[in-house]
């Protein structure tokens, strides 16, 4: 049957062959991306000169390239992505305001490393401090932000680790808000990609700071340390980091043809190397892969028969958009399969799991998602319930 697709960008039409299989199935609670064997036309990923690296699609979550992606490493100033993520969350919640005047403590003023050059005893707007964290990578600004939000850097660090757990960053533990070398301060390429993906998704207005090339404070105009912003117009973030222990690190993100990729490079041996290796990952991903939105949230995918309800059917769809990342030129080979629960009986509440949707490419699973009820169906009166139960009994007896 012809299935209309909602897509993020104009794409060729194709027919998704929709097979209706009635079976009891185990449902996946969340979207799961499953790797697809790359066709022979796609070359092997580039060799990357770094200790760990990862390339993912920001919408689908599909991992395109990875190496040592779960190896724990010091994140250096990439830590500040979490600091700014929490700051954005606090602003969105109304707990702090961008025009809050933040007193600068001695601890913030004395902090070494990269600086915004705030002065102890002065007050700086929270908005200015966020620019200092993101663009200037200021350790002093990061501590001032942490102290304003949580009262102390230690209390803020506790919040950082709670946010990390909520985002699924299972191999991450923070010990400070700056990335300054410390015992038990570590993360992974995979976890940092999860954080970056969440930042872009949850707080796009705040993320816009990451593409700003310069910021001036205290008569000192500092450039963004992410030099890819000058070299590639498609790049709009994200963050550099360096310590002797961590090496040269860079997370970059770029958008081309409505496809956003996130590249993470940890432990490169120079600033030039981390830029070069990020470029190689982004070029490979955009050249050989494409991402499509197949379904929007709450878009009806199929209608399911209901027994004993005021309505004889209920619409089934997805709770969130479904994106897939596939090798270029393979869009027309995608196939959608639905598997549903045994016959449904009312009451049914919107959001109830009804079955699952699987997307395959040449027989390989690309994505599997729960199908949920898009509407509620209340139980009908006694007469209709008895009639529908009789119909259901006959159907079961006749197979």
Is 313 catalytic? The answer is no
Asked if 105 contacts 122 with a C-beta cutoff of 8 angstroms, the reply is no
Spatial distance between the Cα atoms of 274 and 204, rounded to a whole number of angstroms = 25
Residues 139 and 209 placed together within one structural domain of the fold: yes
The verdict on residue 304 lying in a domain is yes
The verdict on residue 12 lying in a domain is no
pLDDT at residue 101 above 50? yes
Residues 70 and 114 placed together within one structural domain of the fold: yes
- What confidence tens digit (pLDDT) does each residue in 25-47 have? 332 223 333 333 444 478 999 99
pLDDT at residue 113 above 50? yes
**Residue 399: per-residue pLDDT:** 65
Q: In what order do the strands lie in the sheet with 63-67?
A: 63-67, 52-57, 259-268, 247-256, 235-243
Question: Residue 169 is encoded by which pair of tokens?
Answer: 């960053």
Spatial distance between the Cα atoms of 217 and 212, rounded to a whole number of angstroms = 14
The verdict on residue 8 lying in a domain is no
CATH of the domain at 226: 3.40.710.10
Phi, psi of 211, rounded to the nearest 5 degrees: -95, 0
Residue 253 lies in domain: 52-268
Asked if 157 contacts 21 with a C-beta cutoff of 8 angstroms, the reply is no
Residues 29 and 58 placed together within one structural domain of the fold: no
The verdict on residue 109 lying in a domain is yes
Q: Quick one: which H or E segment has residue 369?
A: strand 364-373
Residues 98 and 238 placed together within one structural domain of the fold: yes
Catalytic entry in 84, 105, 114, 137: 137
Residues 199 and 317 placed together within one structural domain of the fold: no
**Residue 330: per-residue pLDDT:** 93
- What confidence tens digit (pLDDT) does each residue in 328-377 have? 999 999 999 999 887 778 889 999 999 999 999 998 999 999 999 999 98
Phi, psi of 362, rounded to the nearest 5 degrees: 55, 40
Q: Find the helix packing angle between 79-93 and 126-134, rounded to 10°.
A: 150
Spatial distance between the Cα atoms of 334 and 336, rounded to a whole number of angstroms = 7
Residues paired with residue 293 on neighbouring β-strands, in sequence order:
323
Spatial distance between the Cα atoms of 198 and 296, rounded to a whole number of angstroms = 19
pLDDT band for position 305 (cuts 50, 70, 90):
confident
Residues 118 and 227 placed together within one structural domain of the fold: yes
Listed in order, strand segments (DSSP E) in 234-346 are 235-243, 247-256, 259-268, 289-295, 302-307, 313-317, 322-327, 334-340, 344-345
CATH of the domain at 360: 2.60.410.10
pLDDT band for position 378 (cuts 50, 70, 90):
confident
168 secondary structure, DSSP code: T
**Residue 341: per-residue pLDDT:** 83
Residues 188 and 330 placed together within one structural domain of the fold: no
Residues 244 and 386 placed together within one structural domain of the fold: no
Domain boundary among 268, 301, 324: 268
Query: Domains in the chain: how many in total?
Result: 2
The verdict on residue 274 lying in a domain is no
Spatial distance between the Cα atoms of 116 and 64, rounded to a whole number of angstroms = 36
Domain boundary among 228, 252, 268: 268
Catalytic entry in 80, 227, 280, 356: 80
Is 80 catalytic? The answer is yes
Spatial distance between the Cα atoms of 203 and 135, rounded to a whole number of angstroms = 16
pLDDT at residue 2 above 60? no
pLDDT at residue 123 above 80? yes
The verdict on residue 277 lying in a domain is no
Per DSSP bridges, beta strands 302-307 and 322-327 are unpaired
pLDDT at residue 24 above 50? no
Residues 237 and 327 placed together within one structural domain of the fold: no
Pick the residue with more confidence: 120 or 28? 120
pLDDT at residue 15 above 60? no
Spatial distance between the Cα atoms of 315 and 147, rounded to a whole number of angstroms = 49
Looking up tokens 């449904």 gives 344
- Minimum mean pLDDT among 60-69, 117-126, 247-256, 378-387: which range? 378-387
Residues 71 and 202 placed together within one structural domain of the fold: yes
Spatial distance between the Cα atoms of 78 and 80, rounded to a whole number of angstroms = 5
Looking up tokens 């102890």 gives 120
Spatial distance between the Cα atoms of 331 and 292, rounded to a whole number of angstroms = 8
Q: Quick one: which H or E segment has residue 198?
A: helix 189-202
The verdict on residue 220 lying in a domain is yes
Is 137 catalytic? The answer is yes
- Minimum mean pLDDT among 131-140, 161-170, 346-355, 383-392: which range? 383-392
Q: Quick one: which H or E segment has residue 63?
A: strand 63-67
Residues paired with residue 56 on neighbouring β-strands, in sequence order:
63, 262
Percentage of residues in the chain having pLDDT higher than 70? 89
- Minimum mean pLDDT among 18-27, 177-186, 281-290, 344-353: which range? 18-27
- Minimum mean pLDDT among 87-91, 92-96, 361-365: which range? 361-365
The verdict on residue 3 lying in a domain is no
- Minimum mean pLDDT among 72-76, 297-301, 387-391: which range? 387-391
Sort residue 76 into left (φ over 0), alpha (ψ -120 to 50) or beta. Answer: left
**Residue 394: per-residue pLDDT:** 78
Residues 66 and 27 placed together within one structural domain of the fold: no
Catalytic entry in 33, 60, 77, 114: 77
Q: Can you give the length of the chain in residues? A: 399
Residues 232 and 318 placed together within one structural domain of the fold: no
């Amino acid at each position: 049957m012809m299935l209309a697709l909602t897509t993020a960008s104009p794409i060729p039409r194709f027919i998704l062959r929709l097979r209706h299989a009635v079976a009891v199935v185990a449902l996946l609670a969340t979207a799961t991306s499953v790797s697809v064997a790359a066709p022979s036309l796609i070359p092997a990923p580039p060799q990357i000169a770094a200790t760990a690296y990862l390339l993912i699609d920001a919408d689908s979550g599909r991992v395109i390239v990875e190496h040592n992606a779960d190896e724990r490493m010091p994140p250096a100033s990439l830590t500040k992505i979490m600091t700014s993520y929490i700051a954005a969350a606090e602003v969105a919640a109304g707990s702090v305001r961008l025009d809050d005047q933040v007193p600068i403590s001695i601890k913030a003023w004395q902090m070494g490393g990269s600086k915004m050059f705030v002065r102890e005893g002065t007050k700086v707007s929270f908005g200015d401090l966020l620019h200092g964290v993101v663009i200037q990578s200021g350790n002093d600004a990061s501590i001032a932000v942490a102290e304003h939000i949580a009262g102390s850097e230690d209390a803020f660090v506790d919040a950082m680790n709670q946010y990390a757990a909520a985002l699924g960053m299972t191999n991450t533990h923070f010990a400070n808000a700056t990335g300054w070398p410390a015992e038990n301060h570590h993360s992974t390429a995979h976890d940092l990609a999860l954080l970056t993906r969440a930042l872009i998704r949850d707080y796009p207005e705040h993320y816009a700071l990451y593409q700003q090339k310069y910021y001036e404070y205290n008569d000192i105009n500092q450039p963004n340390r992410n030099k890819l912003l000058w070299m590639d117009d498609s790049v709009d973030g994200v963050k550099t980091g360096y310590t002797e222990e961590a090496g040269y690190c860079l997370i970059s993100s770029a958008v081309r043809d409505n496809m956003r990729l996130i590249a993470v490079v940890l432990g490169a041996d120079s600033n030039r190397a981390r830029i070069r290796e990020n470029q190689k990952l982004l070029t490979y991903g955009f050249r050989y892969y494409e991402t499509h939105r197949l379904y929007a949230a709450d878009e009806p995918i199929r209608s399911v028969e209901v027994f004993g309800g005021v309505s004889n059917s209920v619409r089934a769809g997805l709770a969130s958009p479904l994106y897939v990342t596939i090798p270029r030129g393979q869009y027309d080979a995608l196939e959608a399969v639905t598997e549903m629960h045994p016959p449904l009986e009312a009451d049914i509440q919107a959001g109830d799991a009804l079955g699952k949707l699987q997307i395959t490419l040449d027989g390989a699973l690309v994505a599997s998602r729960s199908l949920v009820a898009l509407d509620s169906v209340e139980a009908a009166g006694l007469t209709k319930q008895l009639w529908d139960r009789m119909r259901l009994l006959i159907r079961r007896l006749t197979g």
